Amino acid sequence: MASSPPSVLNHVAGAPVAGVATFVKHSPVDGSVVAVVHEAGPEVVDAAVAAARAALAGPWGSMTVAERVALLRRVADRIDERREELVAAEVRDTGKPEHLVRELDVARAALNFRSFADTVAATGLDSFLTDLPDGRRALNYAVPKPLGVVAVVVPWNLPLLLLTWKVAPALACGNAVVVKPSEETPSTATLLAELMVEAGVPAGVYNVVHGFGPDSAGEQLTTHADVDAITFTGESRTGAAIMRAAAPRVRPVSFELGGKNAAVVFADCDLPRTLDGLARSIFLNTGQVCLCTERVYVERSVFDEVVAGLAERAGALRLGRPDAPGTTTGPLISQEHRAKVQAYLDLAVEEGATVVVGGGVPDLGEELAGGAWVEPTLWVGLDNSARVVREEVFGPVAALIPFDSEEEAVRLANDTDYGLAAAVWTSDLERGHRVAQQMRVGMAWVNTWYLRDLRSPFGGAGLSGIGREGGRHSLHFYSEPTNVCVQL
């Protein structure tokens, strides 16, 4: 007899809480029901915000930095100890290959807590000893204080990784949080709540409310009068809506939004290394990473070689169940998202693209017919005027476009409303530095992709967001200084 799908409840003040209604979560692998999720109504959202406010007035608000650091490290330990449960929950929601979730998502979740524990422990106060013209002396020093109740709204593509990327520094700075995970990936945010309790995090410091965006938990949380700040990762249009919600009370916001990221490939690159790097940057997580490459500009003399090499690597990808040996690539997150990606696949052909590989829905047999599968796809024959070259697809797709000069490559790469990331592939490191610094993006790589130091600034420009995360940059957002001036 088949077991019933698990119930995913809200989490308020250290305890699970039922919602006003439920909705089902379908597997992107085969369409089966994998969870029943409790949607938080306004009363549950109010209770979560009130619990966070109460936590700030309780023991959490009086904890020292050393005590908070110790708690963060205990949370990281609990993530390690319950790693396989987190892997199973993340795989169930996303359909990603198990090895990817284990090696990237869950490993990075623990690292996020340890990294921000280290960062806040090593961060001192700004202080200045000043001799004034009139002979007086003064000591100025800045005391960081938490913002208060922070709304944390996270997407479905890297649910646990991006959740902990925000929650860890928020807690390190002494805030309390109310998390709204995507309705597509509710499980690990809720499981993390259990780990928080086990680690000894006080009730109300970490709360989870489930639901959708407009007219549901997302809107109710971001418009809540007692929320002090909002951090969001997701689509640019949603970020604009949240900004409007934050404007009346001038609340601080931190947004990491969409991207239409470019790679620039010069003829002198290490071709095998470049092709491997490009394939990873286009197809990792089925292209559902904000940093993925969707535009590849290639110096004309090696254009055909790059097209052939990428097509070969795309053809070697293996789509299948997350636990199947050899699976490299999972499905898209949902049927709704697949319909969006498929519309772009059709549009590309209408706009004159030649499909090098992919371009449709794969036949993976009856067992997986209900999943949100799409073929890894490469296009040639397009230019920067095409909608599929200008608009974010968020799938395993890329347009390959030739260029003839460095100046043209820079112009083409910067011809976008987005500004998240770029990659430059060349054996000439002087040119690598030069071109990377000309990219109008928050992050530029040379001869690599997705290689990061967690202390470095992470974020975008234009439609790709506001603010920076990572190391002290996150601490700057999640706290605000009070300057104390003492005449000596």
CATH of residue 104: 3.40.605.10
Percent above pLDDT 90 for the chain: 98
Find the domain containing 428 and state its range. 261-454
**How many domains does the chain fold into?**
2
In a domain, 159, yes or no: yes
In a domain, 99, yes or no: yes
Same domain? For 113 and 159 the reply is yes
Question: Is 290 among the catalytic positions?
Answer: yes
Same domain? For 38 and 75 the reply is yes
Grade residue 4 by pLDDT with cuts at 50, 70 and 90: confident
* Mean pLDDT of the 52-63 span: 96
Active-site residue (options: 39, 98, 219, 290):
290
Same domain? For 411 and 471 the reply is no
Of 144, 134, 82, which is closest to residue 110 (Cα–Cα)? 82
- Rounded to the nearest integer, the mean pLDDT of the chain is 97
Strand partners, 176: 149
Same domain? For 269 and 240 the reply is no
pTM: 0.95
| CA dist., res. 262 & res. 412, Å (int) | 9
In a domain, 235, yes or no: yes
Judged against a pLDDT cut of 70, whether residue 429 lies above it is answered with yes
The helix-helix angle for 107-122 and 65-81 (nearest 10°) equals: 170
Q: What is the pLDDT of residues 311-355, one digit of tens each?
A: 999 999 999 999 999 999 999 999 999 999 999 999 999 999 999
- Within 10 A of 26 (CB to CB), how many other CB atoms are there? 19
Same domain? For 239 and 266 the reply is no
Same domain? For 126 and 19 the reply is yes
In a domain, 377, yes or no: yes
In a domain, 2, yes or no: no
Same domain? For 249 and 300 the reply is no
Strand partners, 293: 261
Same domain? For 71 and 190 the reply is yes
pLDDT given for residue 3 in this prediction: 75
251: amino acid identity, one letter: R
Which domain CATH number covers 414? 3.40.309.10
Backbone angles phi, psi at 482, to 5 degrees: -110, 120
Judged against a pLDDT cut of 80, whether residue 94 lies above it is answered with yes
Same domain? For 431 and 329 the reply is yes
Q: What is the pLDDT of residues 222-254, one digit of tens each?
A: 999 999 999 999 999 999 999 999 999 999 999
Same domain? For 101 and 224 the reply is yes
Of 107, 208, 105, 113, which is closest to residue 151 (Cα–Cα)? 208
Judged against a pLDDT cut of 70, whether residue 2 lies above it is answered with no
Of 469, 472, 313, 466, which is closest to residue 396 (Cα–Cα)? 313
Whether 270 and 252 have beta carbons less than 8 Å apart is answered as no
Same domain? For 175 and 288 the reply is no
In a domain, 305, yes or no: yes
Q: What is the pLDDT of residues 377-421, one digit of tens each?
A: 999 999 999 999 999 999 999 999 999 999 999 999 999 999 999
In a domain, 133, yes or no: yes
Same domain? For 229 and 285 the reply is no
Task: Look up residue 105 and give its two tokens.
Answer: 């998502």
Burial of 280 (0-12, 13-18, 19+ CB in 10 A): middle
In a domain, 1, yes or no: no
Q: What is the pLDDT of residues 251-287, one digit of tens each?
A: 999 999 999 999 999 999 999 999 999 999 999 999 9
Active-site residue (options: 184, 256, 299, 392):
256
